[in-house]
């Protein structure tokens, strides 16, 4: 929800009149949504003329079940069971008016902040009535650490996934990140060869022992990037569809993704997490690890890897000329993220490196912002929350929300180089 103060007074005329804010909306209440949003999810053009569509209110209990338990009393849902009608990208913040004004009998409890109906600003409904992740992504309620660390507190990185992948008769360990209730982002090099069962652990803190907040899923679908190049490590990114949706908790939440056009300047603080070895060839830890490292410019990274081209599809991070902090074997596929306040944005996917924490070679990641179209096209409905980031600030990706928010640069990534065979 956002309030804008007009610089000049608006005329109260037949063409310009304020909207009424209220109250109680029962299931099935006829409502209207207006705006210039796209006519279909995925369209590249927006209509020139203001559009309107009539849809009914959906009970919050039904909506809450559909969206995995994240619908609160500050939200309102509307959709048709058969789909085909709904607000879409570009309609964020538009009004929704009731069909029967005589039923307005009670003020909403959130009227104290003039919030009224939080259509699209809190929940984005597209043609299929899907939820945009921008209202839930990137939030880690249990993460209050800002310093570099060793063992991570439970719930600090609620999007972190632990992947156990059966491939060619053996098993490897990789990382991943939850990007909505049905999909995990990881690295393509973890999914080469003859694949068997892929187990995906979310809300996990320990690789062995008790994990009371954990949810286990298998992979229903594996989508490697079609132009992944193994020798060059280019386009090292994969999407995993969960066998069933997860319910969001303080320990299981999606991360926001860097939108196309995002820029991460050299020196931007970032975080990397995983259960990878603590040194090259070492033993894997039982408890999830975390470390803070800065972004390294692509030009400096390319100079370091003079035997391998660092492309625009990659982003680098590490302590160049210093070493000592990095991702390592077993971290592959984990997220590299940045932070401002309570919002976390994934900038990279752990891809490769030379040894671990070598002062001459920073870790290399797949650059998430390069893959917004590919991710959106493959996921379809209920797209992840994309946020355009730069070191002067960030904004919600324009095809999702037209909102500006100031941001100071602070970041958290997850790095990984080589997967761990076992």
- C-alpha 296, offset from chain centre: 23
Pick from 136-145, 231-240, 267-276, 318-327 the range whose average pLDDT is largest: 231-240
Look at 15-19, 55-59, 85-89, 203-207 and tell me which has the smallest mean pLDDT: 85-89
The sign of the dihedral angle between the CA atoms of 215, 219, 220, 226 is positive
Domain with CATH 2.40.10.10 in the chain: 1-89, 132-392
In this model, does residue 136 exceed pLDDT 50? yes
Q: What is the pLDDT of residue 104?
A: 27
According to CATH, the topology of domain 1-89 is Thrombin, subunit H (2.40.10)
In this model, does residue 418 exceed pLDDT 60? no
Nearest to 326 by CA among 282, 372, 294: 294
Q: What is the pLDDT of residue 359?
A: 62
Total length of the chain? 422
Question: What is the C-alpha separation between 147 and 131, in angstroms, rounded?
Answer: 33
The answer to whether the CB of 235 falls within 8 A of the CB of 227 is: yes
pLDDT band at 197 (very low <50, low <70, confident <90, very high): very high
Strand order in the sheet with 77-78: 77-78, 51-58, 30-35, 96-98
pTM for the structure as a whole: 0.63
In this model, does residue 368 exceed pLDDT 90? yes
56 Cβ contact list (under 8 Å, min separation 6): 27, 28, 29, 30, 31, 78, 79, 80
Look at 114-123, 149-158, 316-325 and tell me which has the smallest mean pLDDT: 114-123
pLDDT band at 37 (very low <50, low <70, confident <90, very high): low
Q: Which residue has the higher pLDDT, 417 or 301?
A: 301
Look at 51-60, 97-106, 407-416 and tell me which has the smallest mean pLDDT: 407-416
Structure tokens at 122: 């809190």
415 Cβ contact list (under 8 Å, min separation 6): 272, 274, 293, 317, 318, 326, 327, 331, 334, 336, 348, 350, 353, 363, 365
Q: What is the pLDDT of residue 115?
A: 27
The residues pairing with 165 across neighbouring beta strands, listed in sequence order, are 172, 198
Q: What is the pLDDT of residue 285?
A: 74
The answer to whether the CB of 387 falls within 8 A of the CB of 255 is: no
Nearest to 385 by CA among 204, 183, 216, 240: 183
Termini Cα distance of the chain: 48
Question: What is the C-alpha separation between 265 and 269, in angstroms, rounded?
Answer: 9
Look at 81-85, 138-142, 196-200, 294-298 and tell me which has the smallest mean pLDDT: 81-85
Q: Which residue has the higher pLDDT, 35 or 335?
A: 335
In this model, does residue 21 exceed pLDDT 90? no
In this model, does residue 373 exceed pLDDT 90? yes
Question: What is the C-alpha separation between 392 and 83, in angstroms, rounded?
Answer: 40
In this model, does residue 289 exceed pLDDT 50? yes
Q: Which residue has the higher pLDDT, 7 or 257?
A: 257
The answer to whether the CB of 225 falls within 8 A of the CB of 237 is: yes
Average pLDDT over residues 256-267: 94
pLDDT band at 82 (very low <50, low <70, confident <90, very high): very low
28: how many CB neighbours lie within 10 A of its CB? 11
The answer to whether the CB of 409 falls within 8 A of the CB of 391 is: yes
Of all residues in the chain, the percent with pLDDT exceeding 70 is: 62
Q: Which residue has the higher pLDDT, 31 or 36?
A: 31
Q: State pLDDT tens for residues 102-133.
A: 332 222 332 222 222 333 333 222 222 234 56
Q: Which residue has the higher pLDDT, 32 or 246?
A: 246
Q: State pLDDT tens for residues 379-392.
A: 988 899 999 998 76
pLDDT band at 148 (very low <50, low <70, confident <90, very high): very low
Q: What is the pLDDT of residue 380?
A: 87
In this model, does residue 404 exceed pLDDT 60? no
Question: What is the C-alpha separation between 277 and 400, in angstroms, rounded?
Answer: 38
Structure tokens at 47: 């209509």
The answer to whether the CB of 108 falls within 8 A of the CB of 73 is: no
Q: Which CATH number fits domain 132-392: 1.10.10.10, 3.40.50.620, 2.60.40.10, 2.40.10.10?
A: 2.40.10.10
Q: Kindly list the catalytic residues.
A: 189, 236, 332
């Amino acid at each position: 929800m956002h309030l804008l103060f007009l610089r000049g007074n608006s005329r109260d005329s037949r063409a310009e009149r304020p909207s009424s804010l209220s109250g109680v909306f029962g299931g099935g209440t006829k409502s209207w949504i207006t705006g210039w949003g796209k006519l279909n999810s995925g369209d590249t053009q927006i209509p020139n003329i203001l559009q309107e569509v009539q849809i009914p209110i959906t009970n919050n209990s039904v909506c809450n079940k559909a969206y995995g338990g994240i619908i609160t009393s500050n939200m309102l849902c509307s959709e048709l069971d058969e789909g085909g009608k709904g607000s879409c990208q570009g309609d964020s913040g538009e009004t929704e008016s009731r069909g029967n004004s005589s039923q307005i009998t009670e003020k909403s409890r959130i009227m104290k902040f003039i919030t009224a109906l939080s259509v699209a600003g809190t929940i984005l409904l597209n043609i299929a009535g899907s939820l945009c992740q921008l209202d839930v992504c990137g939030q880690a309620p249990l993460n209050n650490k800002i310093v570099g660390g060793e063992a991570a507190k439970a719930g600090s990185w609620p999007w972190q996934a632990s992947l156990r992948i059966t491939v060619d008769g053996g098993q490897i360990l990789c990382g991943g990140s939850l990007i909505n209730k049905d999909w995990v982002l990881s690295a393509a090099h973890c999914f080469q060869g003859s694949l068997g069962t892929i187990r995906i652990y979310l809300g996990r803190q320990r690789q062995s022992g008790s994990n009371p907040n954990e949810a286990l899923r298998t992979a229903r679908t594996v989508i490697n990037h079609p132009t992944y190049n193994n020798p060059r490590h280019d386009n090292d990114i994969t999407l995993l569809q969960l066998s069933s949706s997860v319910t969001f908790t303080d320990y299981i939440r999606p991360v926001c993704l860097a939108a196309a056009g995002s820029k991460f300047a050299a020196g931007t603080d970032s975080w990397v997490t995983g259960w990878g070895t603590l040194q090259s060839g070492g033993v894997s830890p039982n408890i999830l690890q975390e470390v803070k490292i800065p972004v390294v410019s692509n030009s400096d990274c390319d100079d370091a890897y003079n035997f391998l081209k660092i492309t625009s599809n990659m982003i680098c991070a590490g302590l160049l000329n210093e070493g000592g902090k990095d991702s390592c074997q077993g971290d592959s596929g984990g997220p590299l993220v940045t932070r401002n306040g309570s919002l976390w944005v994934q900038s990279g996917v752990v891809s490769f490196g030379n040894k671990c924490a070598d002062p001459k070679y920073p870790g290399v990641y797949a650059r998430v912002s390069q893959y917004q179209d590919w991710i959106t096209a493959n996921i379809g409905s209920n797209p992840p929350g994309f946020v355009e980031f730069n070191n002067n600030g960030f904004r919600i990706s324009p095809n999702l929300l037209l909102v500006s928010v100031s941001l100071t640069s602070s970041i958290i990534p997850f790095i990984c180089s080589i997967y761990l065979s076992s």
